[in-house]
Amino acid sequence: MLSETALKNMGIRGLCDDSRKASPGDLFFALPGAQAEEFARIALSKGAVAVVGETEAPQDLASKWIRVSSVKEERASTAKTFFKDPFSKLSAHAVTGTNGKTTSAFLMDAMLSGEGRKTALLGTICKRIGDRVVASNLTTPGILELYAFAAEAVNAGCSDLVMEVSSHSLHQGRIQGIHYQSALFSNLTEDHLDYHKTMENYFQAKKLLFTHYLSEDGVAVINIDDAYGMRLFDEVDVAQKVSVSRLGNAKAVIVPQSVQSGEDGMILQVPAISEKPFQTGLVGEFNADNVLLVMSWAKSIGISENSIRQALNTVKVPGRFEMTFNDGSRRVFVDYAHTPDALERVLRVARTLCRGKLSVVFGCGGDRDRNKRHIMGEIAERDADFVWVTSDNPRTEKPEDIIAEIIGGMHSDHFKVIVSREEAIRAACKAMQAGDVLIVAGKGHENYQIIGKTKQHFDDHEIILREMC
């Protein structure tokens, strides 16, 4: 392991594991692979001081090559040293699951802030330290970026870090060396099988958060209404486990006495937390699950009832069942739903708010799990009155091919294909009549569309407002 003194003596000014981003003064980590040496040479040509690799040093690079048994292990330990062990100075809290991570993280952050703590937030929508916000590229960043972010948070005076933790980051060891004070599990439904291949592999990746990255005295808060959540609760051995159930599972510690949901939000009666009811502007069963999970977490780590209530009353999450247009009769919502479970939940909630026809605009991302496409088509056809099938982020696939797989699960004539997402949204908006509800699903907070390998500006909200206003 490289010591702080060794790093100083080498003149290391930064750490890098992506040759495209290498800068003068960097220590470059050549991750194992066929192109490791090629990437190392590129990094050195850009001014990197030395390379950490697992193979024997190429003869001409011997003076700049540090051979180790595991580059990933060395990368984690060096990051800890270089950034002065920032996670030892932060209370880190993680939430994982297929759906609900972003809403839960926003609620967690707001409840901690309500206690007067200065927080940092890392997730799908943004990276934020105090009041400074920048957009996120990944739900969970790479380990070097993560340590740099944590160090910046410490320097800014933050006491707590709230993170969404993805299954990819867990499987790839991107949170190596971190031990969380608390970890939440929302649910596990079909997604990312292009990467994990099976639901069992997907579950095992999520499980790592609770078996490898939770502090010895940490608390695990788990939704046991979810079948994988119930299994997780039974299988993990941690100091504190809190089981949560909206549906009244007998094994749950925290169960609501009642949940009343309407157009303007919810009222929850949760005796295990307070005798007085809680109110929130969030709507729908899926948000009831998120709210209960985070309330249970807050209770378990000693957050005050007042901070819980304040967060529930004020938090708004961009692109999560976000009402973009409402003229008192017609309403259009934008939602990030891009999995079968998420789409089903959103449409079911929308149905309860709809006095006319319920329509949905959606597509599926390219170069991602293909198996869910026909399932989402089936769900959309079943739960909406009319479906506008369109493009999402096609990436390197042909949009027409993706759409063909979606409509493979549809068997009625209550849908229309419009490949252009903008034209599909405009057509869906034009077709609305009094009492109708339209859901524009799949992209949520995103203000871009990825076509080929190019990211170009595209915002569902802008298209909706241009057409409706």
Binding-site entries for ATP = 97-103
- Written as one letter, the residue type at 377 is G
CB 30 within 8 A of CB 51: yes
Radius of gyration of the chain (CA): 24
Instruction: Tell me how far CA of residue 159 lies from CA of 87, 105, 129, in angstroms.
Output: 10, 16, 11
**Positive or negative, the Cα torsion across 204, 209, 215, 220?**
negative
Both tokens of 406, joined, read 């979606």
Instruction: Tell me how far CA of residue 57 lies from CA of 26, 66, 270, 352, in angstroms.
Output: 18, 8, 62, 65
DSSP string, 219-270: EEEEETTSHHHHHHHHH---SEEEEE-SS--TT-SB--SEEEEETTEEEEE-
Both tokens of 459, joined, read 């915002």
DSSP structural state of residue 161: E
* Phi, psi dihedral angles at 395 (to 5 degrees): 55, -130
CA dist., res. 54 & res. 20, Å (int): 20
Return binding residues. 19, 97-103, 139-140, 166, 172, 174, 368, 392-395, 442, 446
Return binding residues for meso-2,6-diaminopimelate. 368, 392-395, 442, 446
Which residues make beta-bridge pairs with 388?
Answer: 361, 416
Q: Return the closest-CA partner of residue 95 out of 186, 34, 174.
A: 186
Q: Return the closest-CA partner of residue 104 out of 333, 320, 299, 251.
A: 320
